Amino acid sequence: MLAHENAFVSGSAMAKKLGISRVAVWQHMEKLRQQGFEFEAVRARGYRLTSKPARLEPALVRAYLPLRRRSFTLAVLDSIDSTNDEAARELAAGRADPFVIMAREQTQGRGRLGRRWLSEPNGNLYASFAFRPRVAPARMQTFTLWMGANICELIANFCRVAPGLKWPNDLLFDGRKAGGMLTEARIDADQIRDLVFGLGLNLSTPKGGWPAELKDRATALDTQVAGTLDVNKFAAALIGRVLLAYEKFVGGDHVEELADMWNRHDVLRGRRIAALLGSERLSGTASGIDEEGALLLRTDRGGIERLRAGEVTLQRPGNA
């Protein structure tokens, strides 16, 4: 029916296509109505889809996926503590990978460095992708950067907007954070047992505005795009892109592309930044990333420092 939006499809045609009775078709339609789909039913013409649910619906996400990207399982939960935690529990319980856990709300959404990730049920995206990659742990250093670059390209193409990447894991619009990534791996000796890649993406500005502590730092995709974003189409495109990016990463086919993609969206390059290296505070000019994903900082003392982890802040002109 999604393939014939705005057109009538007869009950008998659907019954034939699905190999079920017309009564069973009617029962399916009732189930879909309960999920928020609306249909016009006209005798002798059949059913016409008049409205789709605005919220995340697994059936719609699946329907919009590119055909060759369907070898994974997907769960869309109403509410969960954290999709990353749920994915880790499912991996520990032996669920086959790859799989995706999405939630309409998180009660304990987590960010990097033990921070909280605001996860209200207002149409934002909270997603975790679970994998068992057969690669050496050392190769994972660029994983989050590679995923971030892919997600940035996807958002740019899908929404015709210009997101930026702030090393190591932030997605920005106009200098404010709209999304963050949290990659968590369990490692046995020299082998990765499993890995969860979590993405939080603000699609909508909260109705009552951002909480005071985020007001100057947070933003959402709805500040960039006119009209409403189809969250189900977007989620399908996201899953397709992340699964493809994962395959390329595991196959080692990402190295050259990463440098180009990162440079296209890097908001730090050429800007003055401050960073903490252990307990030392460094300032200088951001100069891209190296092949291991480290941030290159041309320091005021003239050398190049490689930052492998941590956090950087952009300095405003005039601030030392």
Q: Which residues bind ligand BTN (CB under 6 A)?
A: 82-84, 106, 109-112, 115, 117, 126-128, 169-170, 180-182, 198-200
Give the nearer residue to ligand BTN in terms of CB position, either 106 or 232. Answer: 106
Give CA 139 to chain center in angstroms. Answer: 21
For the sheet containing 272-277, what is the strand order?
304-307, 295-299, 280-289, 272-277, 312-314
In angstroms, the CA 226 to CA 175 distance is: 19
Give the nearer residue to ligand BTN in terms of CB position, either 113 or 212. Answer: 113
CB of 181 to ligand BTN, least distance (A): 6
Give the nearer residue to ligand BTN in terms of CB position, either 49 or 101. Answer: 101
Maximum pairwise Cα distance, the chain = 80
DSSP-based three-state secondary structure for 57:
coil
In angstroms, the CA 165 to CA 258 distance is: 12
Give the nearer residue to ligand BTN in terms of CB position, either 109 or 164. Answer: 109
In angstroms, the CA 88 to CA 82 distance is: 10
Residue sitting closest to ligand BTN (CB): 180
Cβ neighbours for 285, distance < 8 A, ≥ 6 positions apart: 270, 271, 272, 273, 297, 298
Give the nearer residue to ligand BTN in terms of CB position, either 130 or 289. Answer: 130
CB of 198 to ligand BTN, least distance (A): 3
CB of 197 to ligand BTN, least distance (A): 9
CB of 284 to ligand BTN, least distance (A): 24
The strand ranges marked E within 106-190 are: 125-131, 164-166, 170-173, 176-188
CB of 125 to ligand BTN, least distance (A): 8
DSSP 3-state percent helix, strand, coil across the chain (nearest 5) = 35, 30, 40
Give the nearer residue to ligand BTN in terms of CB position, either 177 or 272. Answer: 177
CB of 265 to ligand BTN, least distance (A): 16
CB of 106 to ligand BTN, least distance (A): 6
CB 214 within 8 A of CB 197: no
Give the nearer residue to ligand BTN in terms of CB position, either 151 or 229. Answer: 151
- Residue type for position 187: I
